[in-house]
Amino acid sequence: MTDERLKQVSSLRRAMIRPELGAICGAILVFVFFLMIAGDSGMFAPEGIKNWTVVSAQFAIIAVGACLLMIAGEFDLSVGSMIGFSGVVIAILSVHMGWPVWAAIIAAFVIAMAIGALNGFLVIKTGLPSFIVTLAFLYILRGLTIWLSITTTRQTIIGGVKEAAVGDPLAFLFGGVIFKDLFQWFGDMGWVGTFTRGTRAGQPIVEGIPMLVVWAIVLVIFGHFLLTRTRFGNWIFAAGGDAKAARYVGVPVDRVKILMFMFTAFCATVFATCQVMEFGSAAADRGLLKEFEAIICVVIGGALLTGGYGSVIGAALGALIFGVVQQGLFFAGAESSLFRVFLGTILILAVIMNTYIRRMITGER
Amino acid sequence: MATPLMEMDNIKKNFGPVIALGGVSFDIYAGECHCLLGDNGAGKSTFIKTMSGVHKPTGGVMRVNGKEVSFATPRDAMTAGIATVYQDLAMIPLMSVTRNFWMGREPRKGFGPFKWIDFKTANRITFEEMARMGINLREADQAVGTLSGGERQSVAIARAVHFGAKVLILDEPTSALGVRQTSNVLATIDRVRKAGIGVVFITHNVRHAMAVGDRFTVLNRGQTHGTAMRGDIKPEELQDLMAGGQELAELEGSLGGTI
């Protein structure tokens, strides 16, 4: 049935309804802006690039989990608490109980994913909004973390993980730095600045690519492939788009949602482990407000809060915007409190734009 | 006559103290369109949800090709060749036509645990099946939200047929549609019936039922009032049966016989 009243869709309009479009434009704008106001502040020198790359990568790791979960139609507000919890579990098991670090890391992943599964199970079985269930876990996990940390070590910051992790194979996977030789060569060639004094004289300032960044890239590629190319990805869209319709055609909606809660917990634990390995310590208050930052990245990336639509690449770009602006304002010497003003503003703009895009897709007026 | 594709024998369904279905019998043969008529609250939805495996009947026997069956989930019913197209739950508007068409049965290629959707094949087949239903898509990855209500029903019907439905249950496919879209859907029903599929057409619109139906069963307050063949019954009689007779006859008088 061809409809003569249907206008030919312009390629511009078709590009408009890609979920990532807003984030792509946003990222370009942010880079142009900071190149203009902070171009000579060292923000785009190797060390500056490393600075905002690491921050963006941190956001990206939790944003991938939050993105897939939001597309599946649910939220997880316990991400921040989960980061604190997983970190403290690793530190207690390795430093306090004397487990090898690799075993502590595996245990943290298992426990965190079990809690993620419990989150999902409660949401499915009670039919309550995930907002409420995971809000409860935001408090439960944070409280447990502080309690665990104080009862076992009498303090809320547990150090000594770095010493325990020396030579540990799994610890390197989260806290290591790769391509050191390459960056040494960059340093020798003069492309990357080198230390001129001290014990590290002659070594490049940026010693390599931190594993944190590798994790972010791997998770983004994995998430994007899973979502757009696989059967399971189709089920994620379906679960969030209309769970009932999906069930009627045989999509195991409950399983999809519970697995996505577990994946979010997995991402939070990756974040926590990288942080613990970098600082050499765990603290009970780590990860505060990270759940909201993850959701903001996802929304800037074009996902709908109501589920069923979104993009992992968009969420990654959202994380990049987030990281660049947060660090860029610092490089530009701006008042750092302005960052939150910016965040609130961009969040509202992103949501308005996403709502508009949804109307275009579904043809609502 | 041959064995019916599906037979519902004296089906009862209670929800707590409420008797939703009080012994309903219904059957469907290959290549026919059997209309199930009834007013709101007559038990149509409960009945088709029982047929399609969403509800389990409290009493009665269900047979597919003469063999007794019991469906635990909608998936079981689908495996037995019973496909249902729901009025408002047919499609997910934010997803593309292809993604909707293949939902739950995506064709895959790849090796070992690394399998991905074969979008080339999926798009091609979707395009062909849509063309067969008389819908020319601009592109198979356009969102379902851009299609009209009638087209969405047709996509859902095409999907059911493509995946080997023998019995196709259509839940009020025309009730939310305009005149032209309705005739498109009715034409689709006719095409499906001619392909040898048994169509169960649920509606409360007698004119739509009369347009394509071979047999008519009226459901009223959880009971059937028997089944009539095409030509044995007049639209006015069907209308009366649906409403339980009396009141509507009076109403109709005051409205000049226009309902």
**Could you read off the pLDDT of B33-54 as tens digits, one per residue?**
999 988 877 888 889 889 988 8
CB atoms within 10 A of CB B253: 9
Q: Which of A300, A287, A306 is nearest to A351 (CA)?
A: A300
Interface test with B, best of A10, A234, A357 (most B CBs within 10 A): A234
**pTM for the model:** 0.87
Looking at CATH, the fold of the domain delimited by B6-91+147-255 is given as Rossmann fold (3.40.50)
| Nearest CB partner across the interface for A234, out of B86, B89, B99 | B99
What is the pLDDT confidence band of residue A253, given thresholds at 50, 70 and 90? very high
- Lowest mean per-residue pLDDT among A9-18, A77-86, B54-63: A9-18
Compute the distance between CA of residue B184 and CA of residue B232 in angstroms, rounded to an integer.
Answer: 26
- Residue found by looking up tokens 């949800």 in the block: B49
- At A1, the pLDDT band (50, 70, 90 cuts) reads very low
For residues A310-338, one letter each, b for 16 or more C-beta atoms within 10 angstroms of the residue's C-beta and e for the rest, the string is bbbbbbbbbbbbbbbbbbbbbbbeeeeee
Listed by start position, the domains of chain A span: 43-362
Q: What is the DSSP string of A25-94?
A: HHHHHHHHHHHHHHTTTTTTSHHHHHHHHHHHHHHHHHHHHHHHHHHTT---TTHHHHHHHHHHHHHIII
Task: Convert B153-174 to b/e letters by CB count within 10 Å (16 or more is b).
Answer: bbbbbbbbbbeebbbbbbbbbb
By DSSP bridging, strand B33-38 and strand B215-220 are parallel
- Residue A127, both tokens: 């039919």
- For residue B106, pLDDT over 50 is answered with yes
- Does B111 reach chain A within 8 Å, measured CB to CB? no
Hey, which CATH number is domain A43-362, 2.60.40, 3.30.1460, 1.10.3470, 2.40.160? 1.10.3470
Residue A1 touches partner B, C-beta closer than 8 Å: yes
Probe site for chain A from B79, B94, B118, B121 (most A CB atoms < 10 A): B94
| Token pair 């091609």: residue | B124
User: Is the separation of the CB atoms in B212 and B185 below 8 Å?
Assistant: no
> What is the count of residue pairs from A and B with beta carbons less than 8 Å apart?
88
Q: Which of A67-81, B54-68, B146-160, B222-236 has the highest mean pLDDT?
A: A67-81
Confirm or reject contact between B90 and chain A (CB < 8 A): yes
Closest by Cβ to A242, choosing from B75, B92, B108: B92
Query: pLDDT tens across B52-101, in order?
Result: 888 889 988 999 998 999 888 888 888 888 988 887 766 888 888 899 99
Query: Structural domain boundaries of chain B?
Result: 6-91+147-255, 92-146
| Residue A56 C-alpha, separation from nearest chain B C-alpha, in angstroms | 29
Residues 272-331 of A with CB under 8 A from B: 304, 308-309
Partner B, chain A 249-278, Cβ-Cβ below 8 Å: 249-251
Q: Considering Cα of A9, then A14, then A16, then A19, what sign does the dihedral take? A: positive
Spatial distance between the Cα atoms of A208 and B28, rounded to a whole number of angstroms: 71
Looking at mean pLDDT, say which of A243-247, B220-224, B233-237 comes out highest: A243-247
Burial A229-244 (b: 16+ CB within 10 A, else e): bbbbbbbbbbbbbbbe
**Alpha helices by DSSP H, B7-148:** 44-51, 74-79, 97-102, 119-132
